[in-house]
């Protein structure tokens, strides 16, 4: 279950209903999914997609999503530092960024224009679905020991191109 942290207010939210209320107020979709079958450690991409197919398919049909893939990042990933750098700088996308965490964890940082420039972090773990709304400033922190497997759901993969803000705000916050 995800944990939400608001560093500037020294607040941490763990209770599902408090967390849901906070995210709802900001237009951020968070759901809890569960695999339809047990997934072995380091399952293939096909096994991952098959295990979540019962929730994935209706979600995609309802939301008009077109494509899906599986991403894995860990200490053995080639070009790890390049990938880390790409994710960890504040950016936006022209479409929603939808991820379902399957293994490991990752930290989504949000920077909300309409809420006093508030910055908060959502630690996502197995079975957390998060949808970062289009044009919302955010960055993704893999942490010091990257280990994450996630399903990525797209309306159009071209819409996921990051538009960097170059604000430098990402350097003021740490996992």
- Interacting residues with Fe ion (CB under 5 A): 97
Residue 70 CB, nearest approach to Fe ion (Å): 17
173 in Cβ contact with 101 (< 8 Å)? no
Residue 59 CB, nearest approach to Fe ion (Å): 19
Given the complex with Fe ion, which of 44 and 135 has the nearer CB atom?
135
Residue 165 CB, nearest approach to Fe ion (Å): 12
Q: How far apart are CA 36 and CA 130, in angstroms?
A: 19
Given the complex with Fe ion, which of 43 and 106 has the nearer CB atom?
106
CA distances from 147 to 7, 71, 136 (A): 23, 11, 25
Given the complex with Fe ion, which of 50 and 80 has the nearer CB atom?
80
Residue 37 CB, nearest approach to Fe ion (Å): 29
Q: Which residue is nearest to Fe ion (CB)?
A: 97
Q: What is the DSSP string of 98-164?
A: EEEEEEEEEEEEEEETTTTTEEEEEEE-TTEEEEEPTT-EEEEE--SS-EEEEEEEES-GGGG--EE
Given the complex with Fe ion, which of 97 and 170 has the nearer CB atom?
97
């Amino acid at each position: 279950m995800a944990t939400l942290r608001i560093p500037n207010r020294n607040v941490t939210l763990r209770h599902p209903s408090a967390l849901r209320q906070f995210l709802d107020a900001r237009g951020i979709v968070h759901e809890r999914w569960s695999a339809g079958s047990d997934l072995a450690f380091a399952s293939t991409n096909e096994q991952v997609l098959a295990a979540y197919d019962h929730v994935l398919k209706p979600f995609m049909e309802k939301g008009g999503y077109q494509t899906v893939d599986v991403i894995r990042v860990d200490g053995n990933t080639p070009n790890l530092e390049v990938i880390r750098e790409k994710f960890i700088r504040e950016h936006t996308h022209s479409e929603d960024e939808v991820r379902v965490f399957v293994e490991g964890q990752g930290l989504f940082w949000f920077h909300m224009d309409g809420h006093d420039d508030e910055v908060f972090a959502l630690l996502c773990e197995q079975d957390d679905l998060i949808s970062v709304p289009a044009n919302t400033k955010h960055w993704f922190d893999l942490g010091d020991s990257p280990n994450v497997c996630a399903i990525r759901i797209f309306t159009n993969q071209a819409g996921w191109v990051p538009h960097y803000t170059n604000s430098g705000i990402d350097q003021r916050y740490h996992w």
